[in-house]
């Protein structure tokens, strides 16, 4: 979701997205251990930290890149490289600070029974958190003036500039929001899973697939894409075996893109 926003807006294909997710997870883990507070209370702090980090990263890397490379395609290629650089950096930093083994804490690890299904409370809470966040973002984009500005920039950067939107201030902010979302997602995940510095990459891959499935640059598309992939995986796993699940979900992904080259929900 956050990744899609970044890409849609600025053509930054951030391959280090998962690393920021990992960072968010570690921050939550660490703050939870130190303060003992509920991870939910800590999430806004994580959000703020990663937003600030996003501004810094954008300022240091992508602003200069955007200045020196005007053409879109070259910019995409280069932002890919910068993403790799960031990936190495962040991963190594986490490795140094927290060590490479698995970490975890226990939060809401009791079982809740809903309509005959037993679900773990922390899973439920994480899911609810993610849903609230996504809906909040959609609402923000649809209903507010800022959202309108962001959408305008996605459609036409030059046009947006013409009607007086301050593109140079919006870009870092949106990049920051992207990272902040990744961070919060990481925080939510840390409630459910064990975390390690190498946890980010699979999420980057999944995120890329989901947004591509939903159509790049479309926020609600990525929400639906995510749901679709989730359903395919769950059903596939139930009907066959988890090993075949991956074949199935990649197969669906390829089939969708081959037939609908601009994503499932392209206009």
- What's the min distance (Å) between Cβ of 60 and other proteins? 8
- Cβ nearer to other proteins, comparing 63 with 148: 63
Binding letters toward other proteins, positions 185-224, x by CB under 8 A: --------xx-xxxx-xx--x--xx--x---x--------
Show the CA angle centred on residue 100, arms to residues 95 and 101, nearest 5°. Answer: 150
Indicate whether 108 belongs to the interface with other proteins (CB under 8 A).
no
Q: Smallest distance from the beta carbon of 148 to other proteins, in angstroms? A: 25
Query: 238, 24 in Cβ contact below 8 A?
Result: no
Retrieve residue 3's tokens.
Answer: 């990744």
> 2-10 vs 200-214: helix axis angle to the nearest 10?
60
Pick one of 59, 142, 169, 238: the residue that binds other proteins (CB under 8 A): 238
Q: How far is the CB of 102 from other proteins (least distance, A)?
A: 5
Task: Quote the least distance from Cβ 206 to other proteins, whole Å.
Answer: 9
97 near other proteins (CB under 8 A): no
Contact 25, 190 (CB under 8 A): yes
The encoded tokens of residue 32 equal 């939870």
Instruction: Please give the residues from 27 up to 46 whose contact with other proteins meets the rule CB under 8 A.
Output: 29, 33
| Count of C-beta atoms within a 10 Å radius of residue 161 | 14
Choose the binding region for other proteins from 43-51, 94-102, 142-150, 152-160 (rule: CB under 8 A). 94-102
What region does 218 belong to: left with phi over 0, alpha with psi -120 to 50, or beta? beta
**For other proteins, which stretch binds (CB under 8 A), given 45-53, 118-126, 132-140, 158-166?**
118-126
The answer to whether the CB of 90 falls within 8 A of the CB of 16 is: yes
Return the structure tokens found at 138: 């959609």
Determine the interface stretch with other proteins among 117-125, 135-143, 150-158, 159-167 (rule: CB under 8 A). Answer: 117-125
In whole angstroms, the minimum distance from the beta carbon of 105 to other proteins comes to 6
DSSP helix/strand/coil, 111: strand
Q: Which residue in the set 35, 41, 44, 84 belongs to the binding site for other proteins (CB under 8 A)?
A: 84
Report the nearest approach of other proteins to the CB of residue 261 (Å): 5
Distance (Å) of CA 193 to CA 6, 48, 122: 26, 23, 10
Nearer to other proteins, 164 or 261 (CB): 261
Pick the binder of other proteins from 44, 48, 56, 85 (CB under 8 A): 85
Sign of CA dihedral 1, 177, 27, 39: negative
Chain positions 119 to 148 lying near other proteins, rule: CB under 8 A, are 119-120, 123
Report the C-alpha gap between 50 and 96 in whole angstroms.
Answer: 19
Establish if 96 lies at the interface with other proteins (CB under 8 A).
yes
Longest dimension (CA), the chain: 59
């Amino acid at each position: 979701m956050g990744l899609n926003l970044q890409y849609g807006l600025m053509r930054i294909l951030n391959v280090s997205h998962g690393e920021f997710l990992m960072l968010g997870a570690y921050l939550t883990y660490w703050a939870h251990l130190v303060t003992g507070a509920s991870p939910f209370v800590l999430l806004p702090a994580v959000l703020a930290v990663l937003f600030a980090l996003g501004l810094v990263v954008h300022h240091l890397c992508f602003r200069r890149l955007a200045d020196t490379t005007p053409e879109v395609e070259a910019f995409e290629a280069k932002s890919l490289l910068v993403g790799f650089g960031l990936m190495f950096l962040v991963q190594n930093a986490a490795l140094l600070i927290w060590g490479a083994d698995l970490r975890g804490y226990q939060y809401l690890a009791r079982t809740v029974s809903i309509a005959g299904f037993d679900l773990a409370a922390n899973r439920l809470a994480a899911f609810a958190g993610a849903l609230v966040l996504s809906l909040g973002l959609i609402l923000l984009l649809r209903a507010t003036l800022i959202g309108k500005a962001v959408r305008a920039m996605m459609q036409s950067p030059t046009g947006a500039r013409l009607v007086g939107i301050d593109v140079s201030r919006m870009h870092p902010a949106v990049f920051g929001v992207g990272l902040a979302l990744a961070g919060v997602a990481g925080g939510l995940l840390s409630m459910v899973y064990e975390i390690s510095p190498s946890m980010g990459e699979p999420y980057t891959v999944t995120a890329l697939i989901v947004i591509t499935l939903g159509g790049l640059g479309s926020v609600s598309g990525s929400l639906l894409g995510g749901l679709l992939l989730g359903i395919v995986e769950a059903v596939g796993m139930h009907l066959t075996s988890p090993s075949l699940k991956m074949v199935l979900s990649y197969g669906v992904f390829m089939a969708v893109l081959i037939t609908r080259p601009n994503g499932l929900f392209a206009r």
